[in-house]
Amino acid sequence: MRRFIPVAEPVLGEAEVRAVAECVRSGWISPLSSSVREFEERFAAYCGVSEAVAVSSGTAGLHLVLVALGLGYGDEVIIPDMTFVATANAVAYTGARVVTADVDPRTWNITPETVARVLTRRTKAVIPVHLFGNPADVEGIKRLVGRKVVVIEDAAESHGAVFRGRKTGALGTAGVFSFYANKLITTGEGGMITCRSRGLGRRLRFLLDQAMDPNRRYYHPEIGFNYRLTGMQAALGIAQMRRIKSLLSAKHRIAKWYQEFLKDKRGLEFQQQQSGAESSWWMVSILLPKGVDRRRIEQKLKRCGIETRPFFHPISSLPMFSKNPERPVARQLFTRGLTLPSGAKLSRKDVQWICHALRKELV
């Protein structure tokens, strides 16, 4: 009997066990642990930025950046209609208005053209999402909006992805990554903010620690947040950083296998990369042929022991953001989109079996 194949799973081993055990034995398990700073420094160096600030989740990171940059009531923030709800929720926490832009039918990301359609005088920020690890055109969006509008990368899914020679997280005013259990590297839960501004880095560190004055202990001049990462999580993150190159290579191999085994299936579409973009292939996702019932395919594959998942519901389809009109490309992606198992442990035989089972249902 074939083993159950999950849509994603972390890669953890003895190195991670030792790292966490050493942290526990040291007694420094809190956010004050030196592991947190070491993790930040390693991640900043990896992304090619001067600042990395560890936070408790990717959602917390997005919220913190928006607050640090002064976003609030009366402002508009443009996000993709096709993204995880955390992108929208982080904007809503600030009181700013969520404005959705449609996405490109090939890359599934927002573009300068789709952003331009919803840009107004009230727009204060744009959050391009590198969907499933595929870099969005951050540079083009920056040129469109100019210096008065900040561009914040939602890089939750794009660890190691590259756009024109620079890693995601180094392209906008700031970038925000997630370390949830299904991400390329994980701390169980957690996140990281990257930026090139020392001043913004200081502001973020101040706010995430309840806005405590660093020169007057327990004096808090403004409202802050408890968005800190723990020492144990950071220790796990450091161990995971040592695997990042091999994990990325595995993701690229898996994507190539899927493309090889499904290349001649008429009507089936893979996510495309724009010129200069190198996806991390966090999740290999496809559009099923038009007219195919995605739910039926999900259930059939589940009976074969293969877990898949649908795409995110378009943000404009959710009750709290329904003032945004329906975006037709995002709606089509949701209707036809299916994410295939993409864990870095998958073998060529696993992928071949998944594709065989899928092709059988698409006859």
Q: What is the CA radius of gyration of the chain?
A: 21
Neighbours of 21 (CB within 10 A): 12
Q: How far is CA 32 from the centre of its chain?
A: 26
Confidence at residue 250, expressed as pLDDT on a 0 to 100 scale: 99
- Given a cut of 70, the residues of the chain with pLDDT beneath it are 1
Which residue intervals of the chain bear CATH 3.40.640.10? 14-101+109-241
Q: Which member of 124, 167, 183, 251 is catalytic?
A: 183
Backbone angles phi, psi at 101, to 5 degrees: -115, 145
The residue written with tokens 């009366």 in the block is 74
User: Containing H/E element for 256?
Assistant: helix 244-262
Q: What is the distance, to the nearest Å, from the Cα of residue 303 to the centroid of all Cα atoms in its chain? A: 29
Give the per-residue pLDDT at 295.
98
What residue spans in the chain does CATH classification 3.90.1150.10 cover?
245-361
* pTM more than 0.95: yes
Question: CB count, 10 Å around CB of 273?
Answer: 18
Q: For tokens 């389809």, what's the residue? A: 317
DSSP assigned state of 188 = B
72 close to 97: Cβ distance less than 8 angstroms: no
pLDDT of residue 279: 99
Rounded to whole angstroms, how far apart are CA atoms 298 and 287? 13
Would you report the helix, strand and coil content of the chain in percent, each value rounded to 5? Answer: 40, 15, 45
- The pair phi, psi for residue 185, each rounded to 5°, is -120, 150
Strand bridging mode 174-178 / 150-154: parallel
Residue 1's pLDDT is 54
pLDDT at residue number 332:
98
Which two structure tokens, joined as six digits, stand for 13?
């081993």
183 annotated active-site: yes
Topology (CATH) of 14-101+109-241 = Aspartate Aminotransferase; domain 2 (3.40.640)
What is the C-alpha end-to-end distance of the chain, expressed in Å? 24
Domain 245-361 -> CATH class? alpha beta
Which DSSP state fits 96? P
